[in-house]
Amino acid sequence: MRQYGGNRLGLAVVGAVLLIAGGFAWLRGQGHLRGLSPRARVLPERTADALSGQPWVPWLVALVLVVLALVTLRWLLLSLGWGRFGTRSGTGTAMLCVGLKDVEGLSRAAVRVLGELEGTARLRISLSCPPGADVGAVVGKLDREIVGRIRREVRDDELGAVVRIHVRR
């Protein structure tokens, strides 16, 4: 569940920065900041003169803002779950974790059911193992016991399954 905490923290930080910047801009535009008139320059005089003489500066600023907007849009879409196919199976994930409880350092395990709407349903099982894990034993246990149980519990025995194992460095 660390990814949800990271997304919430990141969104909170970005939201707070935007709220403070927007509040400052609004207060400055309304003339409510003491010592600053609404017509005061944002940049120092020398910096503004140096940048205004360069024709590429506005284009560079626009490019940076577009790239920033695209990165945040990608972050938002991934946080909402776009780009992920199928639906999560909590029961299948729990069965996978219980079946592999003797594997130390198992960090990510997930079971998804794909293609339910099209009628060609299949399972996608993914897990991440530490480098010291006996991958052959994990694959054997998955093949003999765990995948069959997950198939029966989630849907039926004829359900196709793709298992992805990632071994961390």
Q: What is the domain class of 87-167 according to CATH?
A: alpha beta
pLDDT of residue 63: 95
- Asked whether the predicted pLDDT for residue 115 surpasses 60, the reply is yes
> Which residue bears the tokens 């946080």?
79
Q: Which DSSP letter does residue 159 get?
A: -
Pairwise CA distance, residues 48 & 18, whole Å: 24
| Residue range 6-61, pLDDT digits in tens | 777 887 888 899 899 989 888 887 888 888 776 777 778 888 888 888 889 889 98
What's the whole-model pTM score? 0.52
3-state secondary structure of 39: coil
Pairwise CA distance, residues 147 & 32, whole Å: 65
pLDDT of residue 1: 42
| Residue range 98-111, pLDDT digits in tens | 888 887 777 788 88
Pairwise CA distance, residues 65 & 112, whole Å: 36
Tokens representing residue 138 in the block: 């994990």
CATH 3.30.360.10 domain position(s) in the chain:
87-167
